[in-house]
Amino acid sequence: MEGSVMRKLFLKIHLWLSVPFGLVITLLCFSGAMLVFEKEVTELMRRDMYFTPSSGRAPVLTLDGAAALVSGTLPDGVEVTGVTVHSDPDRTWQVSLSEPRKAYVCVDQYTGEIRGRSERPAFFSVMFRLHRWLLDSMRPGETVFWGKMVTGTSTLMFVLVLVSGVVIWWPRTLKALKGRLRLSTGKGWGRFWHDLHVAGGIYALLLLLSMALTGLTWSFQWYRTGFYKVFGAEASSGRPGHAAPREASGSADTMDIGIWQQVYESLADGNPDYARISVADGTASVSFDRLGNRRASDRYTFDRTDGDITGVQLYADASRASKIRGWIYSVHVGSWGGIVTRIAAFLAALIGASLPLTGYWLWFRRLYLKNQTWRRTVRQ
């Protein structure tokens, strides 16, 4: 009896949270799914910019030469802040710029040709703004970022919907368990939508919960503070999962970039399994293509006059808060387990987008059948 009462209570919670927030949840999950493979799609669209066949050739440029080449083409106020080299010799070098944020220019190290400047495709720009703020933007004089507030609240409600859904779904017998895990494809669309909502939600549950719980750290300061405390760290005022923007300390004309090549070669020799090496003014980082926190990197400082390495902070020795920031992002986008978990995150997000839609269909169908039953009763 108590179980039946609890199930009815959670059924109401599940329904009355899903009805008002369902469409927003669909938009958030769908846009999130579209962003999972943004990097691969963007590079496929502009393959000539991101890739160049090495064919066994040696680069004709040095890092400082690439920085100087790009610096000569920049408008006033925009400066070169560093150069990134990938271990894959077929990838072009990326020369980072001071603005806009995360901007860079791709340079063909084998020909000395500037291949192009990074630009987020319009589709992914819309998907990102939809995912984060429902295409809203913070206006001057406003104290509440409504788009951010609605996405954060909807994500929080999504967590409650998922948890209540598990309580409703929980079977009493092994036979019932098998039935609720089955996705029927040959019994008509009605049965398929029902099974997609019931079984699909369970299959995607853990990934959807992990993405929602990490995503909330971008929405609410109080949640971010509590989330970090659970893992024994203090939350920073910056955005989790993203490094704080680094201010440029000088342009390629004022920085001593002549030693960048030396620093790169020194770090490459000491880290033969590196994935990327980035060198800037007095600092450098070495990233590895390993499972786990995909933003993990070892950070170095070097003497600006002779290029000697003066300090190192290995990822293993980084602060707990720094590691948590990277893990939040890696778990949220599903990159922590490589291509396998990214595909799983993509599919889970698509299922998440379908859950409110199939839920609406089940609800409307139930209301329709109840109405038909009532009409027959009145006629009799």
Domain count, the chain: 2
3-state secondary structure of 333: helix
Two structure tokens written together for 41: 């799609």
Cα–Cα distances (Å) from 5 to 1, 67, 170, 261, 359, in that order, read: 6, 68, 14, 70, 21
Question: Would you state the pLDDT for residue 50?
Answer: 97
Within this chain, do residues 278 and 315 fall inside the same structural domain, yes or no? Answer: yes
Same domain, 50 and 193: no
Within a domain: 269: yes
60-81 in b/e form (b: 16+ CB < 10 A) is ebbbbbbbbbbbeebeeebbbb
The C-alpha atoms of residue 170 and residue 179 are separated, in whole angstroms, by 11
Identify whether residues 205 and 185 lie together within a single domain: yes
Is the peptide bond between 100 and the residue preceding it cis, with omega within 30 degrees of 0? yes
Q: What is the predicted pLDDT for the residue at 5?
A: 80
Which residues form the domain of 360?
2-35+136-219+338-379
CA angle 74, 35, 314 (to 5 degrees): 70
Residue 29 lies in a domain: yes
| Residue 237 maps to a domain | no
- Same-domain pairing of 105 and 183: no
> 10 Å Cβ neighbour count for 228?
20
Show pLDDT as tens, one digit a residue, over the chain (380 residues): 466 788 889 999 999 999 999 999 999 999 999 999 999 999 999 999 999 999 888 999 999 999 999 999 999 889 999 999 999 999 999 999 998 888 999 999 999 999 999 989 999 999 999 999 999 887 776 777 889 999 999 999 999 999 999 999 988 888 788 888 888 888 888 889 999 999 999 999 999 999 999 999 999 999 999 999 999 998 876 555 444 434 434 444 445 678 999 999 999 999 999 999 999 989 999 999 988 998 899 999 999 888 899 999 999 999 999 999 999 999 999 999 999 999 999 999 999 999 999 999 999 988 887 777 766 776 66
Per-residue model confidence (pLDDT) at position 238: 53
Residues in CB range of 226: below 8 A, 6 or more apart: none
In sequence order, which residues have a C-beta less than 8 Å from that of residue 155 and are 6 or more positions away?
Answer: 25, 28, 212, 215, 216, 219
Answer whether 234's CB lies under 8 Å from 244's CB: no
Share of the chain above pLDDT 90, in %: 71
Q: Does one domain contain both 90 and 143?
A: no
The mean pLDDT value of the chain amounts to: 89
> Same domain for 22 and 147?
yes
Do 108 and 92 form a contact (C-beta atoms < 8 A)?
yes
Q: What is the pTM of this model?
A: 0.88
Give 191-226 pLDDT, tens digit per residue. Answer: 899 999 999 999 999 999 999 999 999 999 999 999
Q: Of 316, 333, 350, which marks where a domain is finished?
A: 333
Total residue count of the chain as it appears in this document? 380
Domain boundary (333, 348, 366) is at 333
Same domain flag for 193 and 208: yes
Same domain, 324 and 251: yes
Q: Is residue 129 part of a domain?
A: no
The verdict on residue 130 lying in a domain is no
Nearest to 38 by CA among 119, 154, 147, 143: 119
pLDDT at 251: 47
pLDDT for position 374: 67
Q: Does some domain include residue 124?
A: no
For residues 253 and 326, state if they share a domain: yes
* Separation between Cα atoms, residue 188 and residue 126, nearest integer Å: 35
230 within domain boundaries: no
Let me know if residue 234 belongs to a domain: no
CB contact at 8 A, 276 and 86: yes
Same domain? 143 vs 111: no
Same domain, 11 and 144: yes
Cβ-based neighbours of 61, under 8 Å, separated by 6 or more: 69, 93, 107, 109, 112
Tokens of 101: 């944020």
Considering the domain architecture, whether residues 269 and 296 belong to the same structural domain is answered as yes
